[in-house]
Amino acid sequence: MNIIEEVLKRKRRFAIFPIICADHCAHILHKNFKDVATNGEILAEVLEYGYNLYRYDMTLIFSDPYVEAEAMGCSLEYSPYPKLISNSELIRKKEIKALRLKSEIKGLRLKFKDRTDEIIKSAQILREKVDVPVFVSIKGPFTLACFLYDTEDLLKLLLNNETTARSIIRMALDFQVEYLDRLLKIPVNIFIGDPLASASVISPNLFKKFAYEPLRILINKIKSAGMIAGVHICGDTRPIIEFLDNSGTDILSIEDISHKTKTLKMGGVSTITLLNSDKKKIQKEIELALKQDFLILSTSCDVPVNTPAENIETMLDIARQYEN
């Protein structure tokens, strides 16, 4: 049983994983980020480097938030990190009313620049290279739908054209179900990132109406395959915490871990604290976080790319002192 499983089964108090993504690892290795984001082998190489450097208790394959959006027709530009420069014309024109058939989704992936196979390749490699659980980050259907259609426009549709909003979210969900099928064959654990579904953006009512069910469908699928499911939503989660807690996810990665939940939480250290290298503050936040009965001690969001490696080492060193 690995450390994450031990904590999930409440046989160990905590595990440690600051949310280190490929951008930070590429930065410390001086790798061109476009090469990292577009090549599964290089992606695995930088993440393996990060793991060997810090020796945390799990790894997360996350290059950037736009992998699936790009495969569905969005355009990206690297400068040096990817940014979305256009939404999916296909989705905006709604040429495909609903992507229900796997063949349609496969056709879509062939039509556009698809990096999902590179992510799968990196997961296959990393599983062989590291001795901790490997997670792949995928986007929640609601957040993916925002990227595909344009966030502002989709948010407005939630209130003035529910049917169209639902059909776009459905397309995002269908794509993710097919992507999950391929990921779970590896097999690999999954983290679903759905930050645009937070209560910093939409009301609990809209969350329940549009974001919750697609999230649950993905969680159920991961759990049915016997893998660990995590959900990451940064921003305000207090108004939706009960939904998240009852979603069936194994891990909840949230900014404010003071919420009472039956689900194992992940978080505790502010990314800004880590960036600012204030040792005392890091210690204080860790001490407070470890008052939780069980926890994956982590950062509130992904570690900023330029966070000094020594700050991350400080966090891990302090946390290790509380083991046993």
Positions touching another protein (CB under 8 A) are 23, 79, 81, 83-85, 151-152, 155-156, 158-160, 195, 199-203, 206, 234-235, 239, 270-273, 275-276, 301-306
For residue 281, give Cα distances in angstroms to 174, 274, 318: 43, 9, 11
State which residue, 258 or 276, has the beta carbon closest to another protein: 276
Q: How far is the CB of 159 from another protein (least distance, A)?
A: 5
In this structure, which amino acid lies at residue 324? N
State which residue, 24 or 265, has the beta carbon closest to another protein: 24
Q: How far is the CB of 81 from another protein (least distance, A)?
A: 5
State which residue, 124 or 200, has the beta carbon closest to another protein: 200
**3-state secondary structure (DSSP) of residue 3:** helix
Q: How far is the CB of 129 from another protein (least distance, A)?
A: 25
Packing angle between helix 116-129 and helix 162-184, nearest 10 degrees? 40
State which residue, 2 or 270, has the beta carbon closest to another protein: 270
Distance CA 171, CA 72 (A): 10
Q: How far is the CB of 250 from another protein (least distance, A)?
A: 25
β strands within the chain, DSSP E: 14-17, 59-61, 75-78, 82-86, 134-139, 189-193, 229-233, 251-254, 264-269, 295-299
Please name the helix (run of DSSP H) or strand (run of DSSP E) that holds residue 275, with its range, or none.
Answer: helix 271-276
State which residue, 133 or 267, has the beta carbon closest to another protein: 267
Q: Which residues of 282-291 are buried (b: 16+ CB within 10 A; e: fewer)?
A: bbebbeebee
Q: How far is the CB of 84 from another protein (least distance, A)?
A: 6
Q: How far is the CB of 27 from another protein (least distance, A)?
A: 9
State which residue, 187 or 235, has the beta carbon closest to another protein: 235
